Chain A
């Protein structure tokens, strides 16, 4: 064994470039895998930390389902529920800090106001203070402000913060008692929160209700018993119950798509590494065939030959995995720092390095390395000692790699990943998409060998008029070892396919996320509010009276309960949609359905929900409102409505929303300008809107903001997927270098016969360009197909798949460019071949 190990090491040392490239390829593949696992753990930790920070020692959270919240009577019922020891109510609303809206040219950045009962809250929550003291138990106009708010607005302990209240109360100053340490569970999206005594918050906002109440159970009390008791006691207002575990699961579910996407990218990167190790070991076996044959002649057994190759792979695997774990942690750190500062896009605030994840990544990486090397190892064992001593060895079929083996490895990677990936078992239907795409990529690996020849000839034909010599020699090189060529092309194609699919998904998601703005919103601009604005608020009349404003159409977003499911809903003015020609119905008559919303008792369903609930046109949607069931007749089904928190919103009219479903007011107003007066009207509307605490934005600006958020998320995935492309690039360097080294004598003769150094260089670069173009064409085709599959299986509802032609162009150019770049070193080797040595080379 020691002798075999020494021999294996010498084999690796003999080809330092190939060894380094292969280790780098494994390291990058394992790196992306480890990065994905670290990010996964970071997401889990962020979810748990966030819930812990929000809930503390809470056993059960009771949250109001409707905007109006939970009344004092409900709170009293909670307090007397058997098994409940502590009730910590919270009132949460968004408001503006001083200066009041309209005082300056722009609205101040809003804050989230949280009213708490200091005594009960302290029993369940640990509100960490960076400085100052907690809220006094006796209450008063004192506040705790978050670190982000204090930093952003220059606030300090002992200072004052003035918060705007309801129209009746106006602004009120609070003395800052303490600064809250920054925590992931901050209720404000920007971390700008203010905590005040509940009574002060209720007084400021002119309400007696609360948003939620956290419960601490008495000794012996159980969730089941308390839940059952609450069902009997809380009978007037709809509510939701959540345990900390429920909330963690909800948060985890919200990142499920992202986790699946990074798992897919990780699998592809790892497979790219497998391509590289397979290719490397296959090349090594081909190159060392004569040596192996001689060793066999000298008495080495088949088993020893297999072991020799596997030991070589093992060395590569150990080095690659060790480096890959470090690369992965670094990559995850970089991604977190770049894409998630302060919790940002992903909500990850700190890097969590899971030992089990690292072990899993290392084991998968090493396992894939050995699995990929197994076929070349077994093939090496079949080299006959007699064949090794003949001049015909190079043509021996035993030297040709069997690609079917690699596809088996590809499949095993998928199945193993599925079995071991944290949380994969919870993925359910969400796993269909990545599995379909993975299957497609497997198909790409299988068909690549059949496409390389015809596509290579086709692409070569384009180069023939300009580079006839190089083209002819390139064509012969690409078919010299079809397996090697197909492997190289396959790795590039798979990496590009993922990038193209991600690009297409980004375009489609962007389009889906913004389509409602142009298809559904009955206006040219939107005014957004941070709180529900009652439709009878006097300032709305001022807005409607601005010259050039033709119409102000309120939209209120809320949630409804249907058959125990939470559905997103939106209140709209049907007449406005009808007049504006918005909202296309796939079933039903707009002229009948939209006015019916305003008349009440009607609903327009998104097609996805109609399908899910099995409700046809004319059917009845049974909505739970309080303890009552409200029946709404389906008057239309639309392909796309307004996006809600978890899906398309059910559209109802305002009369039903306010009178029967507990909606307090509008969150958004669509503004339609008089034709030709948009510019002046928008300028005139702006100060009036801000005075009413409404933020104006054009549809274009909103689309840009939404698009930018989508782009940020996809940029992250693309960055990870780009690593797979780098692995493919290393594979190209490896293959081209091998191609050059195998042809040293030929190239030497060609140089002797008059081939210039430039021609020799161009020869290798053209080989690379053809490889790159073939890989890019296959990859782009597969990527478009993968994108279509993803879109068809649920991404981008109601929006035609947009392949993102810019991305496709970039992938084509990038694929060829990467290949040409990867050819730089092998081309240099070819150009520097010394003729004299080459022609004597055997």
Chain B
């Protein structure tokens, strides 16, 4: 079990943007308690692409929710860009999420009655900013262009394919250029080719845009885009696999390591 994240973080050239310190999340199930995440400590450097793998129920999605400030740990802390998000009030945590993070989920979570443009502009709208003109409008256009959805601005989500819907969700996560992108099984509902498009775009935002990406997946091909892969088991970090920044995203080395680990 990995307990000290510092050596891993220290090996990176940039300071950590995200830290988990002895993170535990306990749920009440029936008359007993279940630790979905237990004592996890890790650090993610700015600009790094980190993936979490593991079987269903290993706690990887719960950990992602804790890291993104969507959920509160039972014990331990999460530090996002120098702020203890796990100790902030709900409102303060919400604002921090609004400014620093972008989420992509397996279910696209688009608002069905808003147009593509309006869905992508939502982070601005929620912040009370006008996305119809000026630099925000330019950001929406750029985000849409980055996922190849120009010309679909007026469409409603139900007029798009699943891949296009997920690209809208990705554009929405990218539009404010958040420091941290959190993606929970973003390719789980997509075919291979469409999933690859999404992963390519995530990698580009990290590699070219300097954004930090945290990906949860059970697909080794998706995890192979990451610089580092944490393997989770029963709520804990079982292993850390360092793949380094690679252009080809080949899953071979990762699969080989996973095989070595008996996974």
A residues near B, CB below 8 A?
392, 394-395, 468-469, 472-473, 476-477, 479-480, 745-746, 748-759, 834-836, 839-840, 842
Contact = CB atoms under 8 A, between A and B. Distances in A.
28 contacts: A468-B125, A469-B125, A472-B118, A473-B111, A473-B114, A476-B111, A477-B113, A746-B111, A746-B112, A749-B105, A750-B111, A750-B126, A752-B97, A753-B102, A753-B122, A753-B123, A753-B126, A753-B172, A754-B98, A755-B94, A757-B90, A835-B65, A836-B65, A839-B105, A839-B107, A839-B109, A840-B61, A842-B107
Interface in B76-127: 90-91, 94-95, 97-99, 102-103, 105, 107, 109, 111-114, 118, 122-123, 125-127
B197 interface: no
Nearest to A751: B94
Contacts of A756: 90-91, 94-95
B113 A753 contact: no
A759 B103 contact: no
A472 B125 contact: yes
Nearest to A749: B109
Contacts of A840: 61, 107
A476 B119 CA distance: 12
B4 interface: no
Contact of B95 (A392, A476, A745, A754): A754
A469 B128 contact: yes
B201 to A, nearest CB: 18
A3 B225 CA distance: 53
A752 B69 CA distance: 8
B126 A755 contact: yes
A773 B126 CA distance: 24
Nearest to B64: A836
B158 interface: yes
Given A753-B97, A754-B94, A757-B90, A835 B71 contact: yes
A468 B136 CA distance: 15
A754 B176 CA distance: 12
Given A480-B113, A753-B172, A839-B184, 15 more contacts: A469-B125, A472-B118, A472-B125, A745-B109, A748-B109, A749-B103, A749-B105, A750-B126, A752-B68, A753-B103, A754-B94, A754-B99, A756-B94, A839-B70, A839-B103
Most buried by B among A394, A748, A750: A750
A746 B109 contact: yes
Interface of B: 61-62, 65, 68, 70-71, 90-91, 94-95, 97-99, 102-103, 105, 107, 109, 111-114, 118, 122-123, 125-128, 130, 158, 172, 184
A759 B95 CA distance: 12
A834 B72 CA distance: 11
Interface of A is mostly: helix
B221 to A, nearest CB: 23
Contacts of B97: 752-754
Contacts of B184: 839
Contacts of B111: 473, 476, 746, 750
Nearest to B123: A753
A754 B123 contact: yes
B168 to A, nearest CB: 12
A130 to B, nearest CB: 70
B158 A754 contact: no
B158 A392 contact: yes
Given A476-B111, A745-B109, A839-B109, A469 B126 contact: yes
Contacts of B118: 472
B114 A476 contact: yes
Contacts of A834: 71
Contacts of A754: 94-95, 97-99, 123, 126-127
A686 B123 CA distance: 78
Contacts of A745: 107, 109
Contacts of A755: 94, 126
A840 B103 CA distance: 13
B57 to A, nearest CB: 13
Given A468-B125, A469-B126, A469-B128, A752 B103 contact: yes
Contacts of A752: 68, 70, 97, 103
A603 B95 CA distance: 83
B158 A395 contact: yes
A750 B105 CA distance: 12
A753 B97 CA distance: 7
B143 to A, nearest CB: 14
Nearest to B125: A469
B155 to A, nearest CB: 14
Nearest to A480: B113
A485 to B, nearest CB: 12
B122 to A, nearest CB: 6
A755 B98 CA distance: 8
A468 B125 CA distance: 7
A468 B71 CA distance: 27
A755 B125 CA distance: 10
Contact of A468 (B102, B107, B128): B128
Nearest to B182: A752
B113 A476 contact: yes
Contacts of B112: 394, 480, 746
A751 B71 CA distance: 11
Nearest to B129: A468
The residue in A754, A756, A757 that gathers the most chain B C-beta atoms within 10 A of its C-beta is A754
B50 to A, nearest CB: 19
B226 to A, nearest CB: 22
B122 A836 contact: no
